[in-house]
């Protein structure tokens, strides 16, 4: 019976000694469970411990505490060449003294596969990454994007249980990047291999992943599907790191399982909102997080909950959307409106000083603990 | 102004200009002496040691082991002494180079993989012997290897301790002594180029190999060794060629027992006062070295194809 998880990190700690002599926890009590066949991303800003986590799964580093478990087996000090995982390196790490074919064949040769099998499997994986006909080139004779594909083919040809990818698209230009994102996702679904993908690009993580772990300072801040991460960020940090948000200070007035009331002095009103964490109590200082695209501009002045009036301060046309700054109460709100109708006149819809009506649905106002 | 401008636009005349000083130097100090040596080697020695410029192959015939004054049909005049000297030089150079590679590679590998902060210290230690004069260093080996030398004294002491009847070993003035001296002298010239090419190998290549299932031994065979081969080739050239021509080590540590082509040449010029024969031997030495180097570099390249990621 296959193990439940492809990879598990259990309370893993990895410390490095900095040149100044201090101890730095690059990975700080991280627990993750990555399911079989999942596209799992680690997302976080530079230095948050993504690469270190990946290297511990690959076996290049050993945890100081905790355990890495691959396919149900605790890895301990198992060396990299005995782990059923393969890595696509950020700098590709291609063997310059070998041809493309030899690079891709390397893993199969190490498994002592037969010559015939090597030729068919290398051919197939070069096809898969669209490098047909380049098999006799040296890596130096390829473009960055092509080298990236060689690195991918070299890892995939071994059909590992888990493929580790460390910012594999980091060096490519935007257009190629987008193409490769789609291709990678398609490959992953086609092969059914578990992908663990490291990136600091939130859009990339959102579009490709089944689940995302948002990391910061060696810790996992939140783990969940792209929808969970974006729609229900568990903290101000996550809400800020992924997408944009308005943060308004308030105080809990009343809380039940589903709904809650928050007094917001800056808006001079009580907002009906959705509590994110379970342990909020009445009277507690909180913040309310509202995504800019989720603020609705209405014409009706009826008495809906969370209805307010505001003045347009500033409009920025960005093509698909118009970004507005709306002053309401003593608060400036970022509000994004889609440009559904085409108008050349810049003031066709909104202009500075204009009075408008806003509604924020309770499910779009998220109550978070103040950090 | 216009000349400068022309120069700026014309890349081939830039090259000529840059090569000019070296070309002058090489012509004056290499090509002309070489031509002179060639001419002399076809000459004759006068009874009082002067060169008579003519054209005769006598010197080469003597080198090949025949006496020019002997009738060619008469085989009794054949004496392979000089051929033996050439052969001995070749095999000693070969053995030295192989031993030096075997000793230098692990050390260079160790230095290249050590912490960057310690690396400079290690390289410094490798270079320290070069601060002492070559000849003095060879004499030091004489002190070690002599019959009453350090090694024999220590062994004698040890033998006395365990009550064993010890006769001092004859180490000096043997081929072994010359080999030891050569290896010692030329080790740094192999360590440095191998270190340089090993240091260039990005750590992620070792990791990639391990990741793809190669254990350390296979990683070494498939990644480390091929990528460091240019260093080995460069080191081999730096060691083999001087060892072929050197005469100091064999002079001091080999005495009259181990005569190499270098000693032969030196003696022809200084003791026997026969520059014509010495010139012929020099040319043969050069040709031998060139032939070996040619076939070697044709197989392995010149060490210039250092592949960096
Ligand atoms: N070998 C090492 N020695 C000392 N410190 C290290 C070492 N490797 C990583 N670190 C430190 O550990 C922290 C996490 O590094 P890591 O490479 O995992 O970050 P990352 O999330 O991959 O960042 P990036 O997005 O910039 O690649 C950083 O502060 C880094 O300086
Ligand atoms: Mg990284």
B210 and A107 within 8 Å at the Cβ level: the answer is no
Q: What is the mean pLDDT of residues B144-156?
A: 90
When pLDDT is averaged across residues A94-98 and rounded to a whole number, the result is: 95
Q: Which residues surround ligand 2, an ion (CB under 5 A)?
A: A 51
pLDDT at residue B303 in the model: 55
| Nearest chain B alpha carbon to A104 | B212
* Residue pointed to by tokens 């997302």: A43
Q: Residue B72 falls within a domain, yes or no? A: no
Would you call B232 an interface residue with chain A, using a CB distance cutoff of 8 Å? no
In this structure, are A233 and A248 located in the same domain? no
Last residue of a domain, one of A183, A207, A237: A237
Whether B58 and B75 have beta carbons less than 8 Å apart is answered as no
The token pair that represents A117 in the structure block: 């099998």
Taking an 8 Å cut-off on Cβ atoms, the answer to whether A80 and B223 are in contact is no
CB spacing of A97 vs B227 below 8 angstroms = yes
- What is the least distance, in Å, from the CA of A161 to any CA of chain B? 13
Ligand 1: distance of its center to the CA of B289 in Å? 52
The ipTM value here is 0.87
The span from the CA of B158 to the CA of B151, in Å, is 11
The confidence score (pLDDT) of residue B1 equals: 59
Q: Considering only CB atoms, which chain A residues are within 8 Å of B208?
A: 87, 89, 93-95
Calpha distance A114→A88 (Å, rounded): 24
Last residue of a domain, one of A191, A222, A237: A237
If asked whether residues A149 and A255 sit together in one domain, one would say no
Q: How many CB atoms lie within 10 A of CB B254?
A: 24
Q: How large a percentage of chain A has pLDDT more than 70?
A: 99
Final residue in a domain of this structure, among A188, A211, A237: A237
First to last CA, chain B: 42
Of all protein residues, the one whose alpha carbon is nearest to atom 28 of ligand 1 is A47
Nearest chain B CA: its distance from A220 CA (Å): 26
CATH number at residue B161: 1.10.3720.10
pLDDT band at A14 (very low <50, low <70, confident <90, very high): very high
A192 with A251, same domain: the answer is no
In a shared domain, residues A85 and A145: yes
Beta strands A39-44 and A85-88 are unpaired
- What does the pLDDT average to over A106-116? 96
Q: Do B205 and A93 touch (CB under 8 A)?
A: yes
pLDDT for res A3: 76
The predicted structure's pLDDT at residue A88: 96
Residues facing A24 on adjacent strands: A16
CATH number, domain of A193, equals: 3.40.50.300
* Owning domain of residue A365: 244-369
Q: Is residue B197 pLDDT above 80, yes or no?
A: yes
User: B222: which chain A residues are within 8 Å (Cβ-Cβ)?
Assistant: 106
Q: How many domains does chain B have?
A: 1
pLDDT of residue B74: 61
Same structural domain, A161 and A15: yes
Identify whether B14 is part of a domain.
Answer: no
pLDDT at B309: 32
- Look up the domain containing B235 and give its range: 81-308
Let me know whether A284 and A206 are in one domain: no
| Distance separating alpha carbons of residues A33 and A31, to the nearest angstrom | 7
Between the CA of B205 and the centroid of ligand 2 the distance, in Å, is: 17
Nearest-atom index, ligand 1, CA of A54: 18
User: Does residue B56 fall inside a structural domain?
Assistant: no
Looking at the structure, tell me whether residues A300 and A345 fall in a common domain: yes
Residue A351 sits in the same domain as residue A323:
yes
The shortest C-alpha distance from A29 to chain B (Å) reads 25
Contacts of residue B218 in chain A, CB cutoff 8 Å? 110
How many CB pairs below 8 A link A and B? 66
User: Looking at residues A289-294, what average pLDDT do you find?
Assistant: 96
Task: Write A128-136 long-range contacts (CB < 8 A, 24+).
Answer: A128/A153, A128/A156, A128/A187, A129/A153, A129/A156, A129/A183, A129/A187, A131/A100, A134/A100, A135/A99, A135/A100, A135/A101, A135/A104, A136/A99, A136/A100, A136/A101
Considering the domain boundaries, does residue B301 fall inside one?
Answer: yes
The C-alpha of A224 sits at a distance from chain B's nearest C-alpha, in angstroms, of 29
Q: What is the CATH number of the domain that holds A361?
A: 2.40.50.140
B13 within domain boundaries: no
d(CA B224, CA B100): 19
Could you give the maximum distance between any two Cα atoms of chain B, in Å?
89
The verdict on a CB contact (< 8 Å) between A81 and B214 is yes
Same domain for A151 and A197, yes or no, is: yes
> CB A158 to CB B213 under 8 A?
yes
B223 touches chain A (CB under 8 A): yes
Question: Is residue B192 assigned to a domain?
Answer: yes
The pLDDT of residue B302: 65
To the nearest whole number, what is the mean pLDDT of chain A? 92
Interface test with A, best of B202, B213, B215, B220 (most A CBs within 10 A): B213
Q: Do A93 and B212 touch (CB under 8 A)?
A: no
Whether B210 sits inside 8 A of A80 (CB atoms) is yes
Confidence label for A32 from pLDDT (cuts 50, 70 and 90): very high
Q: Is B60 inside any structural domain?
A: no
The CA distance from B208 to the nearest CA of chain A, in Å, is: 6
Q: Mean per-residue pLDDT for B13-38?
A: 91
In this structure, are A73 and A197 located in the same domain? yes
What spacing in Å lies between the alpha carbon of A49 and ligand 1's midpoint? 6
B1 found inside a domain: no
Domain count, chain A: 2
Beta-carbon separation of B211 and A87 below 8 A: yes
Top pLDDT among A258 and A150 is at A150
Q: By CA distance, what is B226's nearest residue in A?
A: A97
- Cα(A47) to ligand 2 centroid in Å equals 7
Nearest residue on chain A to B221, alpha-carbon basis: A110
3-state DSSP assignment of residue B212: coil
Considering only CA atoms, which residue is closest to atom 30 of ligand 1?
Answer: A47
Whole-number Å distance, alpha carbon A28 to ligand 1 midpoint, is 12
In this prediction, residues A327-339 reach a mean pLDDT of 93
Query: Which of A58, A81, A89 shows the shortest C-beta gap to B213?
Result: A81
Cα–Cα distance between B53 and B42 in angstroms, integer?
A: 8
Compute the average pLDDT of residues A120-143: 93
CA distance A310 to A332: 9
């Amino acid at each position: 019976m296959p193990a439940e998880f492809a990879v598990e990190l259990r309370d893993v700690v990895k410390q490095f000694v900095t040149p100044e002599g201090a101890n730095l926890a690059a990975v700080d009590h991280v627990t993750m469970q990555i399911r079989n066949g999942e596209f799992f991303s680690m997302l976080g800003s530079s230095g948050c411990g993504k690469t270190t986590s990946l290297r511990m799964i690959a076996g290049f580093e050993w945890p100081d505490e905790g355990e890495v478990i691959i396919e149900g087996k605790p890895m301990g000090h198992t060396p990299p060449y005995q782990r059923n995982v393969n890595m696509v390196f950020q700098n590709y790490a291609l063997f310059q003294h070998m041809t493309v074919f030899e690079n891709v064949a390397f893993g199969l040769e190490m498994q002592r596969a037969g010559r015939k099998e090597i030729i068919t499997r290398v051919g197939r994986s070069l096809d898969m990454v669209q490098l047909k006909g380049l098999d006799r080139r040296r890596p130096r004779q390829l473009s960055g994007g092509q080298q990236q594909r060689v690195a991918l083919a070299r890892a995939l040809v071994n059909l590992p249980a888990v493929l580790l990818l460390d910012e594999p698209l980091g060096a490519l230009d935007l257009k190629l990047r987008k193409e490769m994102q789609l291709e990678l996702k398609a490959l992953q679904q086609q092969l059914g291999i578990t992908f663990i993908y490291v990136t600091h690009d939130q859009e990339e993580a959102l579009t490709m992943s089944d689940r995302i772990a948002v990391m910061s300072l060696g810790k996992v801040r939140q783990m969940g599907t792209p929808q969970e991460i974006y729609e229900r960020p568990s903290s101000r940090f996550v809400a800020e790191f992924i997408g944009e948000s308005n943060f308004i200070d308030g105080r809990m007035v009343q809380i039940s399982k589903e709904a809650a009331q928050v007094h917001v002095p800056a808006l001079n009103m009580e907002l009906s909102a959705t509590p994110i964490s379970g342990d909020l109590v009445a009277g507690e200082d909180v913040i309310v997080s509202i995504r800019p695209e989720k603020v609705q501009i209405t014409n009706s002045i009826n008495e809906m909950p969370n209805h307010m009036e505001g003045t347009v301060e500033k409009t920025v046309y960005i093509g698909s959307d118009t970004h507005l700054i709306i002053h309401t109460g003593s608060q400036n709100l970022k509000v994004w409106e889609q440009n559904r109708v085409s108008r050349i006149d810049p003031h066709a819809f909104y202009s500075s000083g204009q009075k408008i009506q806003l509604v924020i649905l309770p499910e779009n106002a998220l109550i978070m603990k103040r950090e | 102004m216009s000349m400068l401008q022309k120069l700026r636009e014309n890349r081939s005349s830039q090259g000529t200009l840059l090569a000019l000083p070296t070309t002058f130097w090489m012509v004056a100090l290499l090509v002309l002496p070489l031509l002179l040596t060639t001419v002399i080697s076809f000459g004759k020695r006068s009874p009082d040691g002067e060169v008579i410029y003519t054209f005769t192959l006598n010197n080469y015939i003597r080198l090949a082991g025949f006496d020019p004054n002997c009738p060619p049909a008469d085989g009794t005049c054949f004496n392979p002494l000089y051929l033996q000297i050439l052969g001995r030089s070749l095999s000693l150079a070969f053995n030295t180079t192989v031993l030096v590679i075997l000793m230098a590679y692990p050390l260079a590998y160790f230095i290249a993989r050590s912490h960057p902060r310690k690396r400079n210290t290690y390289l410094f230690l490798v270079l320290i012997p070069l601060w002492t004069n070559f000849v003095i260093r060879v004499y030091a080996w004489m002190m070690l290897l002599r019959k009453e030398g350090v090694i024999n004294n220590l062994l004698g002491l040890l033998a006395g301790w365990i009550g064993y009847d010890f006769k001092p070993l004859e180490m000096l003035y043997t081929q072994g002594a010359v080999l030891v001296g050569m290896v010692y002298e030329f080790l740094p010239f192999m360590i440095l180029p191998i270190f340089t090419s090993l240091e260039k190998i990005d750590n992620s290549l070792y990791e990639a190999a391990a990741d793809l299932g190669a254990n350390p031994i296979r990683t070494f065979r498939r990644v480390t060794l091929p990528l460091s081969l240019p260093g080995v080739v460069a080191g081999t050239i730096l060691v083999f060629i001087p060892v072929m021509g050197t005469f100091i080590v064999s002079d001091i540590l080999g005495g009259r027992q181990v005569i190499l082509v270098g000693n032969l040449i030196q003696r022809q010029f200084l003791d026997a006062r026969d520059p014509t024969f010495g010139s012929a031997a020099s040319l043969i030495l050069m040709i031998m070295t060139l032939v070996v180097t040619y076939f070697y570099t044709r197989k392995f390249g010149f060490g210039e194809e250092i592949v960096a990621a």
